[in-house]
Amino acid sequence: MKKINCIIADDEMLAREVIENHISKLDNLNLVGACATGIEAYSMLNKQAVDLLFLDINMPQLTGLALLKTLKDPPAVILTTAYREFALDGYELGVIDYLLKPIAFERFLKAIDKYINVSGLKLFPALGEQFPLNQEDKPDFIYIKFNKKMVRILLEDIIYLEGLKDYVKVHTPTETIITYQTLTHFTEKLPVDAFMRVHRSYIVSLRHITAYSSSLIEIGKVEIPIGGVYAKAVMTLLHKGD
């Protein structure tokens, strides 16, 4: 069973202890170091192989985002922060996910699942039981709150999602479903290999994209803007299919 070697970089002792405790509950995760500054993390990353870095954004001497920019071959990164708005900058640098403090174990697990999906490793539940990440293992639907019910929507039917203040429009070929949830909620639920957030107000289904440029994505006759924060990650992903 392959271990995922992890490092924590956070200047808050309590935050480091919380993440250490979460890591200790999962057999596949192996904590190889914990740092209080970006400079310590930089030194540790250059001395040993690391698969996954839990990185605080705001640290003295060298911030988390500044550290990422200095690394030529960074490991996978999950940002940790008390400020949601700063976490968005990390997507330009290709981070896997971000965790808002205080970090709940359930949310921590979702971030680990994202890392596993992206890396192609085997998926494991909280108790550490192993099973292959086959297509059959991936759910092909999600439930959405609609008209006081939880309605099942097939992932293949979701064309794109549009965030509007306190609710989200889920566009499908046959209808538009309005649900009082947030785009962040869907970012955490939708599979990263099939959907991508391209703007603070839009998540698109990759399979439904018909054309794109550096500033927008076309889905049929609908034009969806690409946000500046997301542009680099979007272009990187879309160019893989060229």
The domain segmentation of the chain, as residue ranges, is 4-119, 139-239
* Percent of the chain predicted with pLDDT > 70: 85
What pLDDT band is residue 135 in, cutting at 50, 70 and 90?
Answer: very low
pTM attached to this predicted model:
0.52
Closest residue by Cα to residue 51 from 3, 99, 84: 3
- Specify the long-range contacts of residues 205-209, CB closer than 8 Å, at least 24 apart: 205/155, 205/158, 205/159, 205/160, 206/237, 207/156, 208/159, 208/160, 209/238
Q: Which of 86-95, 108-117, 131-140, 153-162 has the lowest mean pLDDT?
A: 131-140
Task: List pLDDT tens digits, range 26-70.
Answer: 988 999 999 999 999 999 998 888 999 999 988 988 988 899 888
Across residues 166-177, what is the average pLDDT?
Answer: 91
What pLDDT band is residue 86 in, cutting at 50, 70 and 90?
Answer: low
Across residues 120-140, what is the average pLDDT?
Answer: 42
Domains 4-119 and 139-239 share a fold: no
- Tell me which of 3.40.50.2000, 3.40.462.10, 3.40.50.2300, 3.30.200.20 is the CATH number of domain 4-119: 3.40.50.2300
Residue 39: the pLDDT is 94
Across residues 211-221, what is the average pLDDT?
Answer: 94
Across residues 226-235, what is the average pLDDT?
Answer: 88
Edge-first strand order for the sheet with 52-56 is 29-35, 4-9, 52-56, 76-81, 97-100
What is the enclosing helix (H) or strand (E) of 153? strand 149-154
Q: Which of 74-83, 87-96, 107-116 has the lowest mean pLDDT?
A: 87-96
Q: CATH for 139-239?
A: 2.40.50.1020
Of the ranges 48-62, 92-106, 126-140, 179-193, the best mean pLDDT one? 48-62
* Percent of the chain predicted with pLDDT > 90: 44
Instruction: Examine the pLDDT at 124 and tell me if it is beyond 50.
Output: no
What pLDDT band is residue 126 in, cutting at 50, 70 and 90?
Answer: very low
Task: List pLDDT tens digits, range 53-65.
Answer: 999 988 988 988 8
Residue 90: the pLDDT is 56
Instruction: Examine the pLDDT at 15 and tell me if it is beyond 80.
Output: yes
What pLDDT band is residue 217 in, cutting at 50, 70 and 90?
Answer: very high
The Cβ-side half-sphere exposure at 93, using a 13 Å CA radius, reads: 26
What pLDDT band is residue 140 in, cutting at 50, 70 and 90?
Answer: confident
Q: Give SS3 for 188.
A: helix
